[in-house]
Amino acid sequence: MTIKLLRTITSLILLTSFMAACSMHRPLVSDTSSREALEERIHLLWKARVAKDRQTVYMLADAQFQKTTDEAAYAKKKGLTILEYEIGKISLSDDGKEAHVVINFKTIMMGVAITPTVTEKWIFEEGLWRVKLSGRKSPFHKE
């Protein structure tokens, strides 16, 4: 009798915990064009960069980049080691289809920690915010 009661109580606790967890789950932003949705995508991108998850970075890139860049080759490239990041300023275009995002991040170059700032262009295409990686040039590129 005690074992049966213990199993029943345990089942009720697990069921209650499961239901509480389900009710706390917040769905993704319903308006994918909103500033909030853009911020979610920015965080997703930069968390992937910190985790060195190149496949997620590739999936968040604009369609033109994906058409012209092989995913497997991109995933094998060595990128910067990003230690942390902070979103600075987000500037949305008047039509809400483009954004410029200032990011401050910490990386290590030649054994020295530095905190550069970059401005990324984000575009709203195919119903999602995507970082514009196509057409980017190295800051050292000479015209």
Tokens (6 digits) for 77: 């490239």
pLDDT at residue 141 in the model: 44
Q: Distance between CA 55 and CA 126 in Å, rounded?
A: 19
Distance between CA atoms of 35 and 40, rounded to whole angstroms? 9
Nearest-angstrom CA–CA distance, 50 and 42: 12
Q: Work out the mean pLDDT of the chain and round it to a whole number.
A: 83
Q: Reply yes or no on whether the pLDDT at 136 is more than 70.
A: no
Overall pTM > 0.85: no
- Using CA atoms in the order 24, 28, 29, 32, what is the torsion angle rounded to 10 degrees? 180
Which pLDDT value is given to residue 112?
A: 93
Q: Name the DSSP letter for residue 62.
A: -
CB 122 within 8 A of CB 131: yes
Task: Single out the residue of 64, 42, 54 nearest to residue 118, CA to CA.
Answer: 42
What secondary structure letter does DSSP report for 69? S
Residues 66 and 62: their CA atoms lie apart, in Å, by 7
Q: Could you tell me whether strands 117-125 and 112-114 are parallel, antiparallel, or unpaired per DSSP bridges?
A: unpaired
What share of the chain in percent tops pLDDT 90?
64
Q: What mean pLDDT comes out for the span 31-38? A: 88
Q: Which of 7-16, 74-83, 111-120 has the highest mean pLDDT?
A: 111-120
Instruction: Give me the pLDDT at residue 139, please.
Output: 52
> How is residue 56 written in tokens?
């997620």
